Structure 1
Amino acid sequence: MSTVSFDDDDDDEVARPRQSPSYQGEDTSVTTKLEIYAWYSYAIAAEVFAVVAVGAFVPVLLEQLARERGTFFSDRTKPCVDHPSGSGSTGDSTRFMAVRAENVQKEQCVITFLGSDVTTASFAMYTVSAAVVVQAITLICVSSFADYGPWRKKMLLAFAYTGSVVSALFIFVTPTVFYLAPLLVIIGVTCLGCSFTLLNAFLPLLVSNYPDDRIDDTSSDFELEALNPESSTATHRSDPEKLTRDLERSAKLSSTGLGLGYIAAVTAEILAIGIIVFFNKTNLAPNSPSLPIRTILLFVGIWWALFSIPTILHLRPRPGPPLPTQSKSVNRKRSAFLFYTTFSLSSSWTTFKRAIRLRQVTTFLIAWFLLSDSIATITGTAVLFARTELQMGTIAVALLSMTSIFAGILGAFFWPRIAAAFHLPPKSILLACSLLMECVPLYGLLGYIPFLQRHRVGGLQQPWEIYPLGAIHGFIMGGIGSYTRAVYAPLIPEGSEAAFFALYAVTDKGSSALGPGLVGYIVDRAGTIRPAFIFLAVLAILPGPLLCMLDVEKGRDDASRMARSCKGVEQEEEEDE
C-alpha cells in the first residue's frame, strides 16, 4: 500500500502559506499530515456504507421487509413468511421462515406497492433505480458547490451526517412500515454519492499545496486541478515537472484512500457477520428476521458518523473561487444556494452540448453508460438471486460480498501487469473486461440446459457456484475501475476536465437506473429471476462494439482542436472587454 511522507516541520496545525492567494478567501496553507489523515478518514467512513450497506445488505433488507408482508406468486392467500409463535427457535433468523410446498420452494413473493403488485425482488430493484436517478439529478445540482465558494466542506459534512442518520433510522423500519425503506435508501444513496464528489474536490487542493522544497514561488501557484477531474475547474500545464510529481502524489493519495476504504469495508463486513451470529445464538429476533440486518445498518450509520469526526476537526475548508458569473449577477439578493444550483444546471447543459460535438467522447459515454448499467444490474441481480433463488442466508451473502471485494483488489493489482506483459493499451484492457463480464449472465443461463437441470448442478443451481462467479466479477471490476478513466481522460479538451468528468459521473450514476428497473419488470412478469439473465447477457455485450469503434488518437486530436478554439474565443472576449 502506498504511503505518504512529510517533513517533520509539516506537523504544525497552522502551516505557512505557500503563495499569495489568487482570489479572495483562498487558503494556500501547506497540506499537513493531519489534513491528509482527515481526508483518508472520510473514505474509511463512507466506503463502509457503499460496500456493506448499499452493496450487500440494503437489497437483502428491502427484499426481506417486503417478503414478511408478501404472499406467494401462485397463491395470493398463502403468506411467504410464517413467524414462529414461541421462543424456542434459535436458527438463522435472517433466513426465510416461509411455509412452502416442495413445488414452490423457489417461488417469488408478491406485495402490493403504490397500487401495483410487484415481486419482493423487483421491489428492491425498483428502489435502486429510483435512488440512482435522484442521485444523478442531485449531483448535477450540487456540482458547483464542489468547485466554487465556501460551501465545499459544509456540504460534505451535511451529506455525511444526513446519510449516517438515515442509515441508523433503518432500525425502526419494521415490515408493517416497509414502504419507508425505499425513501431512506434513496436519501442514503444520494448523500453517499454527493459526499464523495465533494470529498474528491479536496484532492487537487491537497496535492497542489503539498510540501515540496523544490517548488519556488514562481511555480507554486500552479494548481493541478485535473487530478480530481470530477471537481476541478482548470488545468495549467506550465510546469511539466510539477505535473509529473503531482500526478504521482495524487495516485498515491487516491490509491491509499481507496485501499483504506476497502479495508474498512471488509472489517465492517466481518463485524456484521458477528452481529448476525450473535442474533442467531439468542432469542432476540424470533419474530423479526429483518432485525439483524437493520441492526447492521444502525452500526454502519454509527461508523459513518464516528469516522467523519476527524474530517470535521482537521480537514481545512479551503474555499474555492467565486463563480465566474457571480460578480456580474444583477440580482444580488438572490439566494446563494439557488444561484449555485442554477449555475450547476447551466454548466452541465453547456458541457453536454460540447460533448455532443466530440464524436469519440460521445461514443465513449454511450459505451460507459451501457457498461456501468450492466455492472450495477448484474451486481444487484446476483445478490437477490442468491437470496431468493438459492435461498442463501445473510451470512452467506456477506461472504459473497467479501469474495468480490478481495477479487477486485487483486484485479486492480494484476490488470496493469497483464497490460505490461502483453503491451496492451488501456482501451484493450477495458474492452477485454467488458467482454469478460458476459461470462456472468451466460453462466446463469446454463441453468436452462436439461442435462444440467437433471444433475442439479451448473448454471447457478447450487449456492456454492455463485462464489467463484463473484470472484470473477470482482476481478473484472478491478480492471474496469483502473482503466475507465485512463481511456476517457485523453478525449477531454484541456481546461474542461471538471465539466467533462462531471458528465462522466452523471453518466455512471444515472445509467444504473435503467437495468435494475427492467430486471424488476421481467421478474414481475415471470415470477422468477433467472429469465432476467437473458436481458443481462444482451446488456453486457452492447458496450463491446462501441469500445471497438472508439479511436483514442482521433479523440485526442479533436479535443486539442476544441481546446484551442475555446481558448481563442476567450481571448477575443477578453480583448473586447
Structure 2
Amino acid sequence: MLSAAEFKKRLHGWLSYASASEVFVIVSLTLFLPIFLEQFARDNGFLLPDRTTPCSTVAKILHVNDSPERCIVKLGFLWIDTASFSLYVYSISVALQALTVISVGGIADNSAHRKRLLLTFALQGAFAAVLFLILPSSSPLWFLSAFLAICANVGFGVSVVAMNVYLPSLARDSPEVAELCLQLETSQDAEDSELVDNGRTASEAHTEGVEEPLISRNRAESSELRVRYDNELSWATSRISSLGIALGYGAAICLLLVALIPVTKLKGSTFSLRLTIGLGGIRWAVFSIPAAVWLPDPTALATSGASESAIWIDSSDITDGKRSIRTDVVAAWKRLGGMLCWQEIKKLRNTFKYLAAWFLLSDGFTTITFTAILFCKTSLNMRPSALILIGVLTPCTGILGSLLWPMIQRKFLSNLKILIILVILCSAIPAYGCLGFVFQGRTSFGGLTSQREMFGLAVDFGCVYGAFQSYARAFYAELLPPGEEARWSVPRNI
C-alpha cells in the first residue's frame, strides 16, 4: 500500500501530463490545425475551373469569401480540394497512429519502458508542433506541414495510450480503494481460516450430533466488502479520469484566451495560427516535466512493494529489459493475432463489444469536432474571434460536464448507463444538422445554417464530449485484463 505522499506525487504527475496533452488536442489538433492545413493548401491553390487564378488573391484567411468557386491544390499529379486536404492528412495520421499503437502496446505494458515511451512520443509531438513556427505557407516546402501534423497526432495518440495504462493502478492505489482492499484481504484470510476450523469442528460435531451453519458471517461480510470495493474502484477511476479532463479543459481555455490576442491583432494570418499551434507544443513539453519527475521509475516500481491492488510492475519487466525494440514490435503483432482468435473473443466478449462500439463512437465524435471547424470556416465564413469563442465555450462546458456527471453517477447510475445517456445526447447534434437538408436555405435558422447555431452546438457538444472522454476511459479500464492495459488500449482519435 502506497503512502499518501507517494500516491499524491504519482497522481499529480499523471494529471500534469493529462492536462498538457488535453490542451494540445483541444487547441492545436482540434481547433487550429484543420484551418491551418486548409489555409496552407489555399495559399498554394488555384480556383476552379481555370486552375490558374491563385486562391490567395480572392479570399484571405478566415475572411468572408464571396467567391462560389472551389479552391484546389496540386500535390504531385493530383488536384485536391483544399478542405479535403486537411481531412486526408488527418485520416492518414489516424491510420499511422493506430499502427504505431499496436506496435508499441506491449512495450507500454512493460513498466520498465512505459515512462520512456510516454516521454519519447510526447517530445516527438511537441517538437513537431514547435516546428510549425518556422514553416510559412509561402515556403516551397509548405507540404511538410502535413508531415508535421501527422507526427504530432501520432505522438499524441501513443503517449496518451501509455498515460492511460497508469489509470487503473492509480485508482487501485487511491487511499479509499486501498483501504477497502486491505479490509477485503483481511476478511478473506479470516474466511479461509474459518473454513479450516469448520472442517475440524464439523468432524467433531458429527460425532456429537450437532450441525454447523453452512453460511458463515465472515463469508457474507466478504461478499459485502467485495461489492463496496468494486463500486469504490469504479468511482475512483472515473473521478481521476474526469479530473484530468477538467484540468486539461481549464488550461485550454487559458491558452485560447492568450491566443486570441495574436490571432485578432494579426487578423487571422497564417503566422498567428502557426504561433498558436507552436505555443500548444511548447506547453505540452513543459507540462510533461512533472510526469517525468513524479511518475514511477522501473527501479521505484521494483522496490515499492506494491500489492495486487496496484499493478505497477511485472517481474519480467526488469529482467527483460535487454530485449530489442524490433522483438517487442514483432511480438506485439503476434499477440494481436492471438487476441483476435475466436477463443479469446469468447473469453473477453464484453471487451470486444466495447471496442466495436468505441470504433464507431470515437470516430463519430472526432468527425464532428474536425469537420465542424472546417464547416465554420469554409461554409459559415466565421471570423477568428468567433472561432476562438467557440473554442473557449466548448471546454468551459466540458469542465462543467466532466465534473457534474460524476456527481450524478455516484448517486444514481453506473459508468455504463452514463455512457449510454451521453451517446444519446450527442446523437442529437448530427440529427439536428440533417434538418438543414430539409430547410434547404428557406430559413435563416435551423439545421446549422447560421453562425449563431454553432454556439449552441458548442455548448451541447462540450458538455457531452468532456464527460464521454472520461467515462469511456474509466469504463474501458474496468474491462481490461490486469497487466495488459496498453496492449488493449486504442488511440482516442479512432
Q: TM-score range by the shorter chain?
A: 0.7 to 0.9
C-alpha contact (below 8 Å) 1:71/1:110 kept by paired residues: yes
Matched, 1:57 2:32: yes
> CA offset at residue 63 of structure 1?
0.6
Tell me: CA distance 1:425–1:300, structure 2 relative to 1, closer, same or farther (3 Å). Answer: closer
Q: Which residue in the other structure is 1:275 paired with? A: 262
C-alpha contact (below 8 Å) 1:108/1:388 kept by paired residues: no
Distance (Å, rounded) in 2 between the aligned partners of 1:136 and 1:29 = 36
1:50-75 CA distance string (max 9 Å, x none): 11101111111001101111122344
The residue matched to 1:202 in structure 2 has which SS?
Answer: helix
Distance (Å, rounded) in 1 between the aligned partners of 2:256 and 2:330 = 40
Matched, 1:48 2:23: yes
Q: Which residue in the other structure is 1:301 paired with? A: 281
Q: Which residue in the other structure is 1:571 paired with? A: none
Kindly indicate which of the two structures has a greater share of residues assigned to helix: 2
Q: Which residue in the other structure is 1:351 paired with? A: 339
Q: Which residue in the other structure is 2:383 paired with? A: 393
Distance (Å, rounded) in 1 between the aligned partners of 2:45 and 2:252 = 32
Tell me: CA distance 1:73–1:439, structure 2 relative to 1, closer, same or farther (3 Å). Answer: farther
Matched, 1:442 2:431: yes
User: Which residues of 2 match residues 131-210 of structure 1 at below 5 A?
Assistant: 131-175=93-137, 176=139, 177-206=141-170
Tell me: CA distance 1:431–1:315, structure 2 relative to 1, closer, same or farther (3 Å). Answer: closer
1:94-134 CA distance string (max 9 Å, x none): 42486x54xx1xx4311112422111111111111111111
Distance (Å, rounded) in 2 between the aligned partners of 1:30 and 1:121 = 50
Tell me: CA distance 1:484–1:207, structure 2 relative to 1, closer, same or farther (3 Å). Answer: closer
Matched, 1:496 2:481: yes
User: Which residues of 2 match residues 379-418 of structure 1 at below 5 A?
Assistant: 379-415=369-405
1:325-382 CA distance string (max 9 Å, x none): 987xxxx9x8521222223222233223255335555444323222221111121111
Distance (Å, rounded) in 2 between the aligned partners of 1:40 and 1:51 = 16
Aligned equivalent of 2:72, options 110, 131, 149: 110
Distance (Å, rounded) in 2 between the aligned partners of 1:424 and 1:218 = 24
> CA offset at residue 393 of structure 1?
2.3
The residue identity in structure 1 corresponding to 2:258 is L
C-alpha contact (below 8 Å) 2:132/2:274 kept by paired residues: yes
> CA offset at residue 386 of structure 1?
0.3
C-alpha contact (below 8 Å) 2:394/2:462 kept by paired residues: yes
Aligned equivalent of 1:265, options 252, 259, 273: 252
C-alpha contact (below 8 Å) 1:355/1:362 kept by paired residues: no
Matched, 1:69 2:56: no
Higher relative CO (CA 8 A, sep ≥ 6), structure 1 or 2? 2
Distance (Å, rounded) in 2 between the aligned partners of 1:467 and 1:51 = 16
Tell me: CA distance 1:147–1:174, structure 2 relative to 1, closer, same or farther (3 Å). Answer: same
Distance (Å, rounded) in 1 between the aligned partners of 2:162 and 2:224 = 27
The residue identity in structure 2 corresponding to 1:383 is I
C-alpha contact (below 8 Å) 1:152/1:317 kept by paired residues: no
The residue matched to 1:437 in structure 2 has which SS?
Answer: helix
Q: Which residue in the other structure is 2:314 paired with? A: 321
Q: Which residue in the other structure is 2:457 paired with? A: 469
> CA offset at residue 191 of structure 1?
0.9
C-alpha contact (below 8 Å) 1:95/1:394 kept by paired residues: yes
Tell me: CA distance 1:418–1:356, structure 2 relative to 1, closer, same or farther (3 Å). Answer: same
Distance (Å, rounded) in 2 between the aligned partners of 1:217 and 1:438 = 43
Distance (Å, rounded) in 1 between the aligned partners of 2:289 and 2:160 = 16
C-alpha contact (below 8 Å) 1:31/1:210 kept by paired residues: no
Tell me: CA distance 1:435–1:201, structure 2 relative to 1, closer, same or farther (3 Å). Answer: closer
The residue identity in structure 2 corresponding to 1:336 is S
C-alpha contact (below 8 Å) 1:165/1:301 kept by paired residues: yes
Distance (Å, rounded) in 1 between the aligned partners of 2:404 and 2:237 = 21
> CA offset at residue 292 of structure 1?
0.3
Question: How many pairs does the alignment contain?
Answer: 439
Q: Which has the larger radius of gyration?
A: 2
> CA RMSD for the aligned pairs?
3.8
Tell me: CA distance 1:249–1:299, structure 2 relative to 1, closer, same or farther (3 Å). Answer: same
> CA offset at residue 165 of structure 1?
1.0
1:471-505 CA distance string (max 9 Å, x none): 22223324533544576567x4xx72554774452
Q: Which residue in the other structure is 2:195 paired with? A: none
C-alpha contact (below 8 Å) 2:393/2:459 kept by paired residues: yes
**Percent of residue pairs bearing the same amino acid type:** 30
1:406-462 CA distance string (max 9 Å, x none): 2333333454666789x6665554444434434323333333445x62444333232
The residue identity in structure 1 corresponding to 2:112 is P
The residue identity in structure 1 corresponding to 2:31 is A
C-alpha contact (below 8 Å) 2:19/2:247 kept by paired residues: yes
The residue matched to 2:80 in structure 1 has which SS?
Answer: strand
Q: Which residue in the other structure is 1:311 paired with? A: 291
The residue identity in structure 2 corresponding to 1:180 is L
Distance (Å, rounded) in 2 between the aligned partners of 1:272 and 1:474 = 20
The residue matched to 2:72 in structure 1 has which SS?
Answer: strand
C-alpha contact (below 8 Å) 1:365/1:504 kept by paired residues: no
Q: Which residue in the other structure is 1:481 paired with? A: 469
The residue identity in structure 2 corresponding to 1:321 is D
C-alpha contact (below 8 Å) 2:118/2:159 kept by paired residues: yes
Q: Which residue in the other structure is 1:338 paired with? A: 326
1:390-414 CA distance string (max 9 Å, x none): 1112332222122222233333345
The residue identity in structure 2 corresponding to 1:434 is V
The residue matched to 1:111 in structure 2 has which SS?
Answer: strand
The residue matched to 1:178 in structure 2 has which SS?
Answer: coil
Matched, 1:124 2:111: no
Name which of structure 1's ranges 495-504 and 366-375 shifts more when overlaid on structure 2: 495-504
TM-score between both structures, scaled by the size of structure 2: 0.76
Q: Which residue in the other structure is 1:526 paired with? A: none
C-alpha contact (below 8 Å) 2:112/2:317 kept by paired residues: no
The residue matched to 1:168 in structure 2 has which SS?
Answer: helix
> CA offset at residue 137 of structure 1?
1.1
C-alpha contact (below 8 Å) 2:118/2:163 kept by paired residues: yes
Extract unaligned runs of 5+ from structure 1: 1-17, 20-27, 85-92, 223-236, 511-577
The residue matched to 1:156 in structure 2 has which SS?
Answer: helix
Q: Which residue in the other structure is 1:520 paired with? A: none
